[in-house]
Structure 1
Amino acid sequence: MGIKFRLTLMSFFQFFVWGAWLITIANYWFGTKQWGGAEFGAIFSTLGLSSIFMPALTGIIADRWMNAEKLYGILHILGGIALAFLPQVNDSTTFFWVMFVAMVFYMPTISLSNSIAYNILKNSAYDVIKVFPPIRVWGTVGFIVAMWMTNLSGNKASENQFYIAAVAAVALGLYSFTLPKCPPLRLTKKDESWTESLGLDAFKLFADYKMALFFIFSMFLGGALQLTNMYGDVYLSDFEKIPEYADSFVVEYSTIIMSISQISETLFILAIPFFLKRFGIKMVMLFSLLAWVLRFGFFAYGDPHEGLWMIIASCIVYGMAFDFFNISGSLFIETTTDSKIRSSAQGLFMMMTNGFGAVLGSFISGYAIANYFTAADGMKDWHNIWLSFAIYALVIAVAFAIFFKHKHNPKEVENVMH
């Protein structure tokens, strides 16, 4: 097998492991186990908590002490074992801790998979800018395939979704040991301080008003990133409690409907270069924030019959909402920070969005839904839940447009893109 195909397999199963349960776990939690809403928010916070410290820690290990592909394999095998243990858990507190262990092992593999691909492609004399994106797109395809497999096999509310993910994780872990070696570079300099070696010097960026504002907005947006992953599928499934919608296509194949969001991602990724060159980084990030308003707003007013187009539209705009901020935000870091701390700054961006932002969003949304939007009989007021999220995104968008200043420089964008 060629190198590109082997890396494509790695990318496919990297996100297959995630897609097998991420969108459908709410059905297992609320439907099969019938646990509380506030605790469910804590479950999704495990993604953020582990993202705060694990990617940086494993990056240091791979840079200095262990082959990246071996570390990657070990993490996936251990994560797979943790996922396989989840169905044995019968109380929400223990479930939280087991899921946290699983995410401690899984979340750093996302950045490690990129590092491994970059390393192998460079060593094989490939143009990384040209070759990597088509490889990475197959990760999104893997996520979609896993979602469909879980739904079509009738397991969107069963413990089997964790077994599917566990088998894929262990298989990927074993497969990674066959990849070309990615040894530690051991580039630590003698005069490098311990804060520099750990990437902590990037925190000095908070002293710059513009960068501090960017990171703060990144955190607030990060609070919204996982909301539809947390609640989207269970929201669609809950229409079965309304007699006129009980037998609708949306209820039966809710996960497939949600997968339109990931399909949209692959299309909007291809559109990003055009939007960046035409409108600039700030406008693309603003488009993302406004797309989040539409994402939540369409869900608020959608239904499986006359409002089906709104549910579909919500899934389509998700591609712009999710990708435009992540990629343009990363590009903003690339074009405005010193090359010596650029990698650390990218890590800081991820920590603020997928770390602190995701944790705050998970806890606050879980608490708010459980205490203000759930009736005594357990029915959730989905219309006002999504409307509240839409208002939240709109406030962030307006504040971002007013306070964040960044002039569009087409040459700056073109130099980085190429």
Structure 2
Amino acid sequence: MTIGIKSKLSFMMFLEFFIWGAWFVTLGTFLDKTLHATGAQSGEVFSTQSWGAIIAPFIIGLIADKYFNAEKILGVLHLLGAGLMYLMFSAADVSVFYPYVLGYMVLYMPTLALVNSVSFNQMTDPEKEFSAIRVWGTIGWIVAGLAISYLFHWDSPKGIAEGMLRYTFLMGGIASAVLGLFSFTLPATPPKVAKGEKVSIGQVLGLDALKLLKDPNFAIFFVASILICIPLAFYYQNANSFLTDIKVDNPTGKMTIGQASEVAFLLCLPIFFKRAGFKWTILVGMLAWAVRYALFAYGNAGDLSFMLIIGIALHGVCYDFFFVSGQIYTDSKAGVQYKSAAQGMITLATYGVGMLIGFYVAGKISDNYNGPAGHDWRMIWLIPASIAAAVFLLFFLSFREKKGATE
């Protein structure tokens, strides 16, 4: 790659995740404090991410891979998304807000695959080159969080009281419009499927990889992947609201510690994976979810605030040790024939089915433990901690790692 192309791809990745981080982290707090949504309503709003993940393969497989250049579709989706983001900024009620965010997530989720396609198309050695591009996405997410807390102070008690969190959608919308226009300057990424070649719905959704479920170990991993997404949903839906409720200063800025740890632990993952093997790497990731929520349950904004910081910092272990190592395991089990299909199937199962269930459960639990005195955050966090611990125990007892599997 030339420096010019590398710079363009890095800027693309920065904006892609800046847009998501600009509004998604504070969404729970916005729904609770500004739109006065119930826990169930918040769960429905957050589940739009899952519906987007379920619908995304159709857009990528049936449109991007077959008919149009990826960078052009990326541009159109982000320009449409900018318009929907403005409507989200203007919405005064959760019932008005919901269809806009649903439409937005259906448009946004496919762009996560499109930016990867545009990047990979320019690389001769993706294993060495991609990480240097992808890291700019994490930086974009971090910059968005820092801007909300330390530059604009939208998540301060005064900012929340004045409804300033609404401006996160305006910031995301402007960035989306910029990326939409910028996308048309990106290197050409033509359709992958040859003209006239037929693509089945099963291929699009990765259903060909269902054959992998005949392997008992892979079936156990597949079920565990869905189940662990239930406690994961609690973090996305409740973490910012929780930190805001207990009066933690600059909560959105502090949550960027999670993204920084994600980068750090990603570097540690190959070493741990090689020494401990796949089973124990996955187990550490599961255990980290349980420990994180226990720290949230018993920490506070005062003398025990360090417990909250550690819980946030565990995001790198939670995500990398389970999801990234799971992607590696899936790739190794799939073989050449089903590589793409298997990854698609796991994505559909986790971000689609698993998170959909998780957001529903998180919304119901939040409502059940919300009274006149406010949320009972200890119970709200102990429940997903228990679910994560149960999934840990299930996987520990049932998964049998074969000798030589790590290699």
TM-score (ref. length: structure 2): 0.93
| Aligned equivalent of 1:398 | 393
| Aligned equivalent of 1:385 | 380
| Aligned equivalent of 2:134 | 136
| Alignment match of 2:245 (pick from 238, 243, 246) | 238
Q: Deviations over 1:117-137 (max 9, x none)?
A: 111123xxxx21111112111
Q: Deviations over 1:16-53 (max 9, x none)?
A: 00101111112211112222111001111000111012
C-alpha contact 1:8 1:135 (8 A) present in aligned 2: yes
Find the aligned partners of 1:192 and 1:110 in 2 and give their Cα distance: 21
Provide the identity percentage.
36
Find the aligned partners of 1:193 and 1:184 in 2 and give their Cα distance: 16
Q: 1:375 is matched by which residue type in structure 2?
A: G
Alignment of 1:8-407 (within 5 A): 8-122=10-124, 127-152=125-150, 153-156=152-155, 157=160, 158-187=165-194, 195-196=202-203, 199-240=206-247, 250=248, 252-371=249-368, 373-377=369-373, 379-407=374-402
| Aligned equivalent of 1:244 | none
Q: 2:263 is matched by which residue type in structure 1?
A: T
Find the aligned partners of 1:308 and 1:194 in 2 and give their Cα distance: 49
Aligned-pair distance for 1:408? 5.1
Q: Deviations over 1:340-370 (max 9, x none)?
A: 1210110111111111011100011101210
Q: 1:223 is matched by which residue type in structure 2?
A: I
Q: 1:34 is matched by which residue type in structure 2?
A: H
Q: What's the Cα RMSD here? A: 1.8
Aligned-pair distance for 1:389? 1.3
Find the aligned partners of 2:219 and 2:277 in 1 and give their Cα distance: 20
C-alpha contact 2:206 2:345 (8 A) present in aligned 1: no
Find the aligned partners of 1:80 and 1:19 in 2 and give their Cα distance: 15
Q: Deviations over 1:71-117 (max 9, x none)?
A: 11111111121111112222222312111100001111111111111
Aligned-pair distance for 1:411? 6.4
Find the aligned partners of 2:197 and 2:99 in 1 and give their Cα distance: 40
Aligned-pair distance for 1:193? 6.0
Find the aligned partners of 1:315 and 1:408 in 2 and give their Cα distance: 34
Structure 2 spans left out of the alignment, 5+ residues: none
TM-score (ref. length: structure 1): 0.90
Find the aligned partners of 1:365 and 1:110 in 2 and give their Cα distance: 25
Q: Secondary structure at the match of 2:370?
A: coil
Find the aligned partners of 1:51 and 1:121 in 2 and give their Cα distance: 26
Aligned-pair distance for 1:410? 6.6
Q: Deviations over 1:350-405 (max 9, x none)?
A: 1111110111000111012102x11135x000111111111111011011111122
Find the aligned partners of 2:344 and 2:184 in 1 and give their Cα distance: 26
C-alpha contact 2:207 2:345 (8 A) present in aligned 1: no
C-alpha contact 1:269 1:323 (8 A) present in aligned 2: yes
Q: Secondary structure at the match of 2:188?
A: coil
Find the aligned partners of 1:46 and 1:191 in 2 and give their Cα distance: 30
Change (3 A) 1:197 1:360: closer
Q: 1:154 is matched by which residue type in structure 2?
A: H
Change (3 A) 1:116 1:306: same
C-alpha contact 1:188 1:197 (8 A) present in aligned 2: no
Find the aligned partners of 2:384 and 2:112 in 1 and give their Cα distance: 27
| Aligned equivalent of 1:243 | none
Give the paired residue count. Answer: 396
Q: 1:69 is matched by which residue type in structure 2?
A: E
Q: 1:155 is matched by which residue type in structure 2?
A: W
Find the aligned partners of 2:199 and 2:49 in 1 and give their Cα distance: 31
Q: Secondary structure at the match of 1:311?
A: helix
C-alpha contact 1:222 1:352 (8 A) present in aligned 2: no
Find the aligned partners of 2:253 and 2:204 in 1 and give their Cα distance: 44
C-alpha contact 2:231 2:385 (8 A) present in aligned 1: no
Find the aligned partners of 1:310 and 1:98 in 2 and give their Cα distance: 37
Structure 1 spans left out of the alignment, 5+ residues: 241-249, 413-418
Change (3 A) 1:17 1:197: closer
C-alpha contact 1:282 1:408 (8 A) present in aligned 2: no
